[in-house]
C-alpha cells in the first residue's frame, strides 16, 4: 500500500505530444464540422492573426490632453452580477443556458446611433474634447477619422484613464482607426462608470496599462506572481493538496477601504485602479464592443484588456496579446459578460485565467497541508464575487465562426478559462493550446455552475491536474483543520470532444472532485453522496488521446460522474511505479462513476479503469 500525494509547483510545462487521430464528426446536425486533435487547433492561430494597420495610416497630432471634468468619482463595487435563476443560469442541464438570457440590447448587433453625431478629426485633443461634449450633452455618437491612429500621451490622474470617464450613452465608430497609449506614463484607455454605456465599433484599442497608483500614492500590485519553477515531486511524505486550488477569505475581517458592504481584506479602490488595461466597466456601467480588437494591453491588477464589474458584450472581436499581473490575462469578470464569435487568444496572467477569469482565486506557490491550512486560518468560501459568463460561437449559415480560447497561459489555474463561483456557459467554442502552471490547462471551474456544450477542448496542458478540464468544489476548511462538507461544483459536458490534453499529475483529459488526493492499493467506494465534492455529467462526448501520470482520460476523486453515450478511448497513464493501481482510461478514487450501456471505455493504456469503475472491463 502506498500514499501517492503530489502537488504541482509551477515547473516548466511539458510540451503536449503531437497526435494525429481520426474521430467521429461532431455537431453534424448543426452544420459545424468536427475538429481533429491538435491539427484542428493549428488553425486557431490564424483566427487571431495580427491585423494591425501599417505605418501608412495617419497619426493624430500629439498634444497634451485638455483638462477633463472631474465628474463623479464612481468606483466599481465588485458586485456579483448575474443572479442565479433570473437569467436562466440556475437551471440544470443544457437548457439553462438558452432560456431567459436575451438581455435586451444584447441580442442586437450593436446599437443605433445615439444623440448628436460628431465628426472627430485625426487629433487626440479633438477626441478628448468630443468625449467631454458627449458627456455634457447626455451622450452622443463620435465618428473617428478613417484609419487614423490616435496617440494618447497624457492621463487624467484623478481617474487613471487617458480619456474622460464615460458617464452617458456614448457610441464611438472607429472607421478602422486605432486608439493607443503612446507614453512612458501608464494609464488605461477607457473607464465606464455607473450609468455610463459605451459602444465601440470597428476600432483597435492598444497599449493601455492600468496601474494601482492613485493621486501619487502607491499600492503593491495585486494578483499573483510569476510561475514558480521546479518539477512536481513524484510523491510527498504527507497528505497534501495541489497548489493554487481555491479561494479563501481572511479569518479576521479587515476594513477594505471601500464602503461596499464586504470586508474581504482587499482594498477594492486600489484594486480597481489596477484593473482593465484597455477598458474598465464599473458596477452599473455597460459596454458593447463590435468588431473591436484589444491588443497589447496590461494591468497590474486583474483584466489585462477588460475588467468588467457591470455588463459587457463582445461580438466578432479579438482579445489578443494582453497580460495581467493578477487574474484574467484577457478579461476579468465579476459582472455579466457575453462573448460572441470572438477570439480570446495568446493572453497571459500571472494568476488565474490566462484568457478569461470569472472571479478571483487565492494563489499558492507550494503545497498546502491540513495543519498549515488550519493554522493560517483559512475560512469557508462561497461563490466569491464571480458573475455570469456566456461564450458562444456562430453555428448557422455559411459564415459560422467558432469562438476561441487558444494559446493562453496562466501562472496558476485555468490556462484558457478560470471560474471561482458564479455561472459559466460555453458553446460552439474551441479551447486549445492553453497552458496552466497549476491546474486546469483548458478550463478550471471551482464551485461553479458550468456547462460546456459543443466545445472542442484539445491540446491543452497543466503542470498539475486536469490537462483539459478541472471541475471541483474546491476546499472548505473548518477551524480544527478538518474538511467540511457542502462546497460543491456542478458541471455538464455535452456533445463535445476532450482530446490530446496532458497533465503532469492526474486527469489528462478531466479532473473531477476534491483536491485532497490519497491513493491506496485498494480503492474505497462511498455508499452515500452527501459529501461528493463535485457532480459531473458527460453526454455524447469523446474523451480520447489524453495523457497523465494517472487517470489519463478521467480522474475522479471523492466525487460523482455520470457517463451517457460517451467514449473514453486511447488515453494513457504514464505512472510506472506500480505502487498503486494505474488507469489510462478512468481512475475512480473514493467516488462514484456510472456509465450507461451506450458508453464505452476501451483501448486505454495500461488499463481501462484498474478495477475502480463498475461495468468497466480491463
Tell me the three cell numbers of residue 269: 479602490
- pLDDT band, residue 379 (cuts 50/70/90): very low
Please check whether residue 599 lies inside any domain of the structure.
yes
Taking residues 275-279, report their average pLDDT.
96
Taking residues 402-407, report their average pLDDT.
96
Contact 550, 582 (CB under 8 A): yes
Taking residues 378-396, report their average pLDDT.
69
Please check whether residue 304 lies inside any domain of the structure.
yes
- The CA–CA distances, whole Å, from 331 to 253, 307, 320, 322 equal 28, 6, 10, 9
Please check whether residue 65 lies inside any domain of the structure.
yes
Largest interatomic CA distance in the chain: 76
Taking residues 168-191, report their average pLDDT.
94
Q: Residue 417 forms beta bridges with which residues?
A: 356, 443
CB atoms within 10 A of CB 607: 19
Share of the chain above pLDDT 70, in %: 61
Contact 479, 539 (CB under 8 A): no
Contact 274, 299 (CB under 8 A): yes
Tell me the three cell numbers of residue 498: 476532450
Tell me the three cell numbers of residue 265: 481584506
pLDDT of 513 reads 92
Residue with more model confidence, 118 or 225: 118
Please check whether residue 24 lies inside any domain of the structure.
yes
Side-chain-facing half-sphere of 309: CA atoms under 13 Å: 28
Distance of CA 617 to the CA centre of its chain: 37
- pLDDT band, residue 347 (cuts 50/70/90): very high
Closest CA to 173 of 130, 227, 225: 130
- pLDDT band, residue 95 (cuts 50/70/90): very low
| 422-460 confidence digits (pLDDT tens) | 999 999 999 999 999 999 999 999 999 999 999 999 999
| Of the candidate ranges 99-108, 467-476, 528-537, the one whose mean pLDDT is the lowest | 99-108
Residue with more model confidence, 247 or 295: 295
Tell me the three cell numbers of residue 15: 510540451
pLDDT of 308 reads 98
DSSP labels, 425-467: EEEEEEEES-EESSS-SSEEEES-EEEEEEEEEES-EESSS-S
User: Domain limits at 569?
Assistant: 506-515+534-618
| 247-269 confidence digits (pLDDT tens) | 333 222 222 333 333 334 344 44
pLDDT of 394 reads 82
Residues 6+ apart with CB under 8 A from 304: 277, 297, 298, 322, 323, 324, 328, 329, 330, 347, 348, 349
pLDDT of 532 reads 75
Please check whether residue 445 lies inside any domain of the structure.
no
Contact 236, 6 (CB under 8 A): yes
pLDDT of 184 reads 85
Q: What are the φ and ψ backbone dihedral angles of 49, each rounded to 5 degrees?
A: -60, 140
Please check whether residue 47 lies inside any domain of the structure.
yes
Please check whether residue 355 lies inside any domain of the structure.
no
Alpha helices in 233-314 (DSSP H): 268-273
Residue with more model confidence, 166 or 514: 166
Taking residues 282-297, report their average pLDDT.
98
How many domains would you assign to the chain?
2
CB atoms within 10 A of CB 230: 12
Residue 455, classified by CB atoms within 10 Å of its CB into exposed (0-12), middle (13-18) or buried (19+), is buried
Q: Domain boundary residue among 371, 392, 423?
A: 371
pLDDT of 7 reads 39
Residues recorded for the chain = 618
Contact 234, 244 (CB under 8 A): no
| 572-606 confidence digits (pLDDT tens) | 999 987 656 899 999 998 899 999 999 999 999 99
| 473-528 confidence digits (pLDDT tens) | 875 433 333 344 445 789 999 999 999 999 999 999 999 998 877 665 545 555 55
Please check whether residue 407 lies inside any domain of the structure.
no
pLDDT at 142 over 60: yes
Amino acid at each position: 500500500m502506498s500514499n501517492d500525494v503530489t502537488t504541482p509547483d509551477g515547473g516548466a510545462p511539458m510540451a503536449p505530444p503531437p497526435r494525429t487521430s481520426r474521430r467521429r464528426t461532431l455537431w453534424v446536425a448543426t452544420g459545424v464540422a468536427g475538429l481533429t486533435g491538435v491539427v484542428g487547433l493549428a488553425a486557431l492561430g490564424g483566427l487571431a492573426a495580427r491585423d494591425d494597420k501599417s505605418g501608412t495610416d495617419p497619426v493624430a497630432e500629439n498634444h497634451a490632453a485638455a483638462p477633463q471634468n472631474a465628474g463623479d468619482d464612481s468606483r466599481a463595487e465588485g458586485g456579483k452580477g448575474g443572479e442565479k435563476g433570473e437569467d436562466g443560469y440556475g437551471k440544470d442541464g443544457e437548457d439553462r443556458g438558452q432560456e431567459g438570457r436575451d438581455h435586451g440590447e444584447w441580442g442586437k448587433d450593436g446599437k443605433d446611433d445615439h444623440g448628436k453625431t460628431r465628426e472627430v478629426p485625426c487629433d487626440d485633443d479633438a477626441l478628448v474634447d468630443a468625449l467631454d461634449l458627449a458627456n455634457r450633452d447626455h451622450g452622443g455618437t463620435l465618428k473617428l477619422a478613417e484609419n487614423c491612429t490616435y496617440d494618447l500621451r497624457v492621463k487624467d490622474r484623478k481617474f487613471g484613464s487617458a480619456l474622460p470617464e464615460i458617464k452617458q450613452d456614448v457610441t464611438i465608430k472607429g472607421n478602422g482607426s486605432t486608439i493607443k497609449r503612446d507614453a512612458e506614463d501608464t494609464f488605461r484607455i477607457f473607464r465606464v462608470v455607473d450609468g455610463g454605456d459605451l459602444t465601440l465599433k470597428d476600432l483597435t484599442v492598444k497599449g493601455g496599462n492600468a496601474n494601482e497608483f492613485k493621486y501619487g500614492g502607491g499600492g503593491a500590485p495585486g494578483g499573483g506572481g510569476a510561475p514558480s519553477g521546479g518539477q512536481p515531486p513524484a510523491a510527498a511524505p504527507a497528505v497534501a493538496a495541489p497548489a493554487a486550488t481555491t479561494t479563501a477569505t481572511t479569518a479576521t475581517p479587515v476594513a477594505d477601504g471601500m464602503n461596499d458592504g464586504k470586508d474581504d481584506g482587499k482594498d477594492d479602490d486600489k484594486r480597481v485602479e489596477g484593473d482593465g488595461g484597455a477598458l474598465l466597466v464599473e458596477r452599473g456601467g455597460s459596454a458593447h464592443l463590435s468588431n473591436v480588437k484589444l491588443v497589447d494591453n496590461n494591468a497590474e491588477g486583474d483584466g489585462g484588456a477588460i475588467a468588467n464589474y457591470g455588463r459587457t458584450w463582445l461580438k466578432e472581436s479579438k482579445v489578443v496579446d494582453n497580460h495581467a499581473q493578477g487574474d484574467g490575462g484577457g478579461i476579468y469578470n465579476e459582472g455579466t459578460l457575453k462573448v460572441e464569435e470572438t477570439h480570446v487568444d495568446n493572453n497571459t496572467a500571472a494568476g488565474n485565467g490566462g484568457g478569461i477569469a470569472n472571479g478571483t482565486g487565492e494563489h499558492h506557490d507550494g503545497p498546502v497541508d491540513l495543519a498549515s491550512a488550519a493554522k493560517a486560518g483559512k475560512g469557508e468560501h462561497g461563490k466569491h464575487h464571480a458573475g455570469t459568463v456566456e461564450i458562444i460561437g456562430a453555428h448557422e449559415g455559411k459564415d459560422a465562426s467558432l469562438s476561441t480560447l487558444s494559446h493562453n497561459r496562466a501562472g496558476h489555474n485555468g490556462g484558457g478559462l478560470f471560474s471561482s463561483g458564479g455561472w459559466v456557459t460555453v458553446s460552439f467554442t474551441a479551447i486549445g493550446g492553453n497552458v496552466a502552471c497549476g491546474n486546469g490547462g483548458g478550463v478550471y471551474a471551482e464551485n461553479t455552475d458550468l456547462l460546456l456544450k459543443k466545445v472542442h477542448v484539445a491540446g491543452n496542458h497543466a503542470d498539475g491536474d486536469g490537462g483539459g478540464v478541472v471541475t471541483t468544489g474546491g476546499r472548505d476548511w473548518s477551524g480544527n483543520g478538518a474538511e467540511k462538507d457542502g462546497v460543491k461544483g456542478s458541471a455538464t459536458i455535452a456533445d463535445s470532444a476532450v482530446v490530446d490534453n496532458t497533465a503532469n499529475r492526474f486527469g489528462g483529459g478531466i479532473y473531477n472532485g476534491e483536491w485532497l488526493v490519497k491513493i491506496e492499493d485498494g480503492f474505497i467506494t462511498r455508499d452515500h453522496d452527501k459529501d461528493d465534492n463535485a457532480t459531473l455529467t458527460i453526454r455524447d462526448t469523446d474523451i480520447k488521446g489524453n495523457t497523465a501520470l494517472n487517470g489519463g482520460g478521467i480522474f475522479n476523486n471523492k466525487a460523482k460522474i455520470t457517463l451517457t453515450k460517451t467514449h473514453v478511448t486511447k488515453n494513457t497513464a504514464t505512472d510506472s511505479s506500480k505502487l498503486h493501481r494505474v488507469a489510462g482510461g478512468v481512475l475512480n478514487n473514493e467516488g462514484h462513476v456510472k456509465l450507461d450501456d451506450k458508453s464505452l471505455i476501451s483501448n486505454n493504456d495500461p488499463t481501462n479503469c484498474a478495477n475502480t469503475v463498475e461495468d468497466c472491463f480491463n
